[in-house]
Amino acid sequence: MRDSRETLTTNAFVTGYPIKHSRSPVIHGYWLKTMGIAGSYRAHAVEPENFAEFMRLLRNGESGYIGGNVTIPHKESAYRFSDCKTEIAEELGAANTLWLEDGKIHATNTDGEGFLANLDDQAAGWDNTARAGKAAVVLGAGGAARAVIQALRNRGFSEIRVVNRTLVRAEEMRHRFGERVTAHPMEALQEVMRDAGLFVNTTSLGMDGEPAPAIDFGRLVHGAVVTDIVYVPLITPILAQAQTQGRRVVDGLGMLLHQAVPGFEKWFGKRPVVDATLRKLVIDDMETHG
């Protein structure tokens, strides 16, 4: 018989559908190797109709996993089917990190933490504008924008101006995250830039065959940072515009790398570090495998 205790303490997954484009196995594989940990982390495709069963096997220990990451389209289901949720996940209604503890599935969401850690790492002092009472602008109001809006509110921005093509989705963000969030239509984009200290793109604008809207980043305050959570390509059309206008920009790859840290620490017991070698490894992987 297999020693189930051993397998339970060392194997983790990333699940989604499809999952083969996930970079997470490269990230965790690098940490396992460089930190000398005898564990595994692998991509495990689960079709939506089989996700409940996947969670059942995880809970009762039959899957052989100690936990793992969850991505599209399972983040909401992972939240729903888990037994204990962090406050962060509770407010988002979505989970990206699961772990087994005392026979229960625990769930959290590390996207917001990854978003903040990337900016802390790449643009130290970026949040001084929050302390100075400036607003942040978030373009987009989809699933990915939620964690960003929550994180910015928690970091102390007094106002988070959410601009979205479908206004009602921006308004939903206000209902979910409170009065510091304001909702604006696309036509208001230039106006909301005024005196803001941070600009975040969470949409695919400029990458879907349509040109990116012209944005006047000159309206932002001195020292403002422009970032994107999309990381393919690394310099998105919106970041390219901001760069041309002399703004400090941060690409979104670091968010992917940093959101992986808390999960790894939970499953394998040691906190990994995001370094330049890892970043290069993931960039090379994207160039090789698309």
Q: What is the helix (H) or strand (E) element at residue 42, kind and residue range?
A: strand 40-45
What is the spatial distance between Cα 76 and Cα 78, in angstroms, rounded to a whole number? 5
Q: How far is the CB of 277 from ligand ATR (least distance, A)?
A: 28
Sort residue 125 into left (φ over 0), alpha (ψ -120 to 50) or beta. Answer: left
- Considering only residues 16, 112, 140, 263, which one is a binding residue for ligand ATR as defined by CB under 6 A? 140
Which lies closer to ligand ATR via its Cβ, residue 169 or residue 248?
Answer: 169
Q: Are 117 and 244 in contact (CB under 8 A)?
A: no
Q: How far is the CB of 267 from ligand ATR (least distance, A)?
A: 25
Across the beta sheet with 97-101, the strand order is 40-45, 11-16, 67-70, 97-101, 104-108, 84-85
- Interaction of residue 240 with ligand ATR, rule CB under 6 A: no
- Interaction of residue 169 with ligand ATR, rule CB under 6 A: yes
Give me the active site residues, please. Answer: 75
What is the spatial distance between Cα 236 and Cα 256, in angstroms, rounded to a whole number? 16
Residues of this chain, 201-220, that bind ligand ATR according to CB under 6 A: 202-205, 208, 210
- Interaction of residue 166 with ligand ATR, rule CB under 6 A: yes
- Interaction of residue 180 with ligand ATR, rule CB under 6 A: no
What is the spatial distance between Cα 29 and Cα 43, in angstroms, rounded to a whole number? 11
Stretch that binds ligand ATR, among 3-11, 63-71, 143-151, 266-274 (CB under 6 A): 143-151
Instruction: Catalog residues that contact ligand ATR under the rule CB under 6 A.
Output: 140-145, 164-166, 169, 202-205, 208, 210
